[in-house]
Amino acid sequence: MNEEGYVEEVSRQVLSHPRYQHLEPGLVRALVRQELRKGRSPREIVKTVRSKLHQVAASYLERPIDYSAWLERLRTLPRDRQHPQVKAFCLEMMRLHASTRERLPYLEPFYQQVLAPVGQIHSLLDLASGLNPLATPWLPLAPDAQVVAWEIFADMVDFLNHFFTHLGIRGRAEQRDLSMTLPEQPFQVVFLLKTLPCLEQLDKTLSRRLLESIPADYLLVSFPTYSLGGRRKGMRVNYAQRFEQLVADKPWSVWRFDFPTELAFLVRKGGR
Ligand SMILES: C[S@@+](CC[C@H](N)C(=O)[O-])C[C@H]1O[C@@H](n2cnc3c(N)ncnc32)[C@H](O)[C@@H]1O
């Protein structure tokens, strides 16, 4: 078997597990290739790549989400994103992803405070979004705002597209791996929420490249201040230092916001 055939075969084995089956296949192949170069056996490669995919993505979901059941419920909801039933549905669903679940106790003040300098949002790109697009009812979106979300889980992306359509949001979700594709289209606001530490596990240079290259007026970047296991480990201080280094030589305005489990920075890169 040639090398590409071998990569395909091992990637297929990685993806055969229900927790990983919906992940972006290009990311899986890239990780398999990396391990192959280290001379590992197929069994070791499958184990190592699954463990990496667990760290960066699957660990945020306690169990696979039954999207067809959620979709059935979505179809019964009013089409107004401010309707209490819709907001209750969004809050309930955001509990299924550890990142959005942690933000729920301060969801409303979070977006009120971090987006105050921005005002109304006309276009938004939510990178490595998880289920955060379900927070759209709490965002100051203009009536015709464009919302785009990128994620690596195909089933999550598919659900988010149904969510946008049902609520008449001019939006789309796309299955995109940030270690392969950087955004090129300009947006007024780009979210990179609790994502840079995750991406650095795939590529140490990604944080800097993303911050520098994203064409946005405003970037909202945040970091977790607790590990998934609930430990504190000086994360707030360390991430703050790391972020300050990343923006130290840039002519950008930066606002800092401290929340119980999250440290956020709003960066004004330019534009309006
Ligand atoms: C810590 S969670 C943050 C989720 C969301 N931004 C939030 O704050 O609620 C990291 C997310 O990044 C996604 N992810 C991991 N690697 C990625 C990659 N290479 N490209 C795009 N998304 C990725 C994971 O699936 C996961 O949903």
pLDDT in tens, 118-144: 999 999 999 999 999 999 999 999 999
User: Where residue 232 sits, what CATH number does that domain have?
Assistant: 3.40.50.150
pLDDT in tens, 97-125: 999 999 999 999 999 999 999 999 999 99
**Listed residues 56, 75, 95: the one ending a domain:** 56
Q: Is the CB of 151 under 6 A from ligand 1?
A: yes
Range of the domain at 150: 67-268
pLDDT in tens, 165-223: 999 999 999 999 999 999 999 999 999 999 999 999 999 999 999 999 999 999 999 99
Q: Any long-range contacts for 73-80 (C-beta under 8 Å, 24+ apart)?
A: 74/162, 74/163, 74/166, 75/166, 77/166, 79/166, 79/167, 79/168, 80/167
Number of structural domains the chain divides into: 2
Q: Is the CB of 179 under 6 A from ligand 1?
A: yes
Assess if residue 61 is contained within a domain: no
**Taking Cα atoms as reference points, which of 45, 17, 13, 44 lies closest to residue 32?**
45
Residue at 172: amino acid letter: R
Cα distance between residue 65 and residue 216, in whole Å = 32
Cα distance between residue 113 and residue 171, in whole Å = 24
Q: Any long-range contacts for 61-65 (C-beta under 8 Å, 24+ apart)?
A: 61/19, 61/96, 61/97, 61/98, 62/96, 62/98, 64/18, 64/19, 65/96, 65/155, 65/156, 65/159
Same domain, 77 and 28: no
Assess if residue 226 is contained within a domain: yes
- What distance in angstroms lies between residue 129's CA and the mean position of ligand 1's atoms? 6
Same domain, 8 and 71: no
Pocket test for ligand 1, best of 34, 174, 195 (most atoms within 8 A of CB): 195
The model's pTM: 0.97
